[in-house]
Chain A
Amino acid sequence: MENRIASSGPQRDTESLLPALDATALQALRELAEATDPELFEEVLQTYLQDAEHHLAALHQAADSGDLSGMKKLGHTLKGSSAQVGAYQVSTLAEELEVLANTGSANGAQDLIEQIEMAFGRTRIAVQHQLNGAMQ
C-alpha cells in the first residue's frame, strides 16, 4: 500500500498487481447464484456497474466543489461494493481516496479519481465479458 501511494502517477502498480475483476470472487458469486437464483450473477454485476457509474459521477462533482466529506463517503462506498464483486483495482484506489479525503486535503484527489475512472473502465470491460459469457 505504501509503495503504491509513493509511486503516484497514472501508471501505478495497482493495475499490474491487482485484477480488474478477481476470478475467485467471480467464482464465489457464480456458485452463490447456482445455489439460490440463476439470475443473481447477472443482476449483481449489472447493479454494481450502474451504482459505480453513479458514484463516479458524484465523485467528480464532489471533487469539483472541494467537498471532502462527500469524497470520503463516496470513496468508502465504492471501496466496499467494488471489493464485494472482486473489482480490487477500483476498491484499492477508492480506499486511497477515502484516506486522502480523511486527511483534510484534496491535493491529488483529481488524479486519484481519474485513476479510479480508468480502473473502472477496465472492470467494466471485464464485467461485460462475463455477462456476454453468461448470456451465451
Chain B
Amino acid sequence: MNILIADDEATLRLVMAATLKKLGHEVTKVATGLQAWQALQQDYFPVLVTDWTMPEMDGMHLTQMLRATTPHDLYTYVVMVTAHGSREDYLNGIRAGVDAFLVKPFDEALLEAQLFIGERIAGLQNHTKRLESIMTVCSYCKRVRSEDDRWVGMEKYLDTTFQTKPSHTVCASCFTTKVKPEMERLGINGDHIQVR
C-alpha cells in the first residue's frame, strides 16, 4: 500500500517510515498537517498514519477535513499515533473520523495489525462505493446487471453483492390490484386485511 505519514518529529518520521518499508509498503512523509492535506489532494492513500499534535493543522483537524470532503472519492483509513491518552481524547478522535489509535512509542506488531484492518476496511468501502455507482437497472423489468454482466432480480443482486436478504411484504397498491382479486378468485375474503 501507499501510506502517508504526517508527523512533525523527524525521529518518529524516520522510524515509522523504516518500519512501514520493512512491512512492504511504500511511504510518503510530510511534517505538518497542511502538507498532509495537500498530499491527500494530490494522491490517493489507502492509509494515513498521523500524529495528533502538529503545526499548522493538527491530526484531528486533518481527519475532519478528510472525512468531510473524501478526496478522490475513496476511503482513507486513519491511524492516529499519539502520546495523548484520555478517554475523552479517544472518543473525540473516533467521532472526528479516526479509525484507530497507536500510542508512542508504537509497537510494530500493533501497527502491522492496524494496516491489515486498514487495507480491509478501505477495500470494502471502496468496493461498495464502486458497486453503488455502477448499479444498472433495466427500465422495464427492473432487473439489475450483476458484476458478471448478467441480468438478475433485485433480491438476488442484493443477496450476492451485499449479502443482504430483504424482508417481504406487499404494498397497498399491489394488494388492491393484484392480491385481493386473486383472493376473491380463490373465494377467500380479504376484507379484514389491512396493508400500509
Question: Which residues of A line the B interface, CB within 8 A?
Answer: 25, 28-29, 32-33, 35-37, 40, 43-44, 47-48, 51, 73, 76-77, 79-81, 83-86, 95
Contact = CB atoms under 8 A, between A and B. Distances in A.
A48 B11 contact: yes
A81 B83 CA distance: 10
Interface of B: 8-12, 14-15, 18-19, 21-22, 51, 53, 82-84, 104-106, 108
A35 B106 CA distance: 18
Contacts of B82: 80
B18 A47 contact: no
B83 A76 contact: yes
A37 B83 contact: no
B8 to A, nearest CB: 8
A24 to B, nearest CB: 11
Nearest to A25: B105
B18 A32 contact: yes
Contacts of B18: 32-33, 36-37, 40
Contacts of A47: 10-11, 14
Contacts of B108: 28
A47 B10 CA distance: 7
A80 B83 contact: yes
- The 6 lowest CB-CB distance pairs between A and B, nearest first, are A80-B83, A80-B104, A84-B105, A36-B18, A48-B11, A83-B105
- Which residue among A28, A48, A79, A80 has the maximum number of chain B CB atoms within 10 Å of its CB? A80
A6 to B, nearest CB: 22
A43 B14 contact: yes
B12 A80 contact: yes
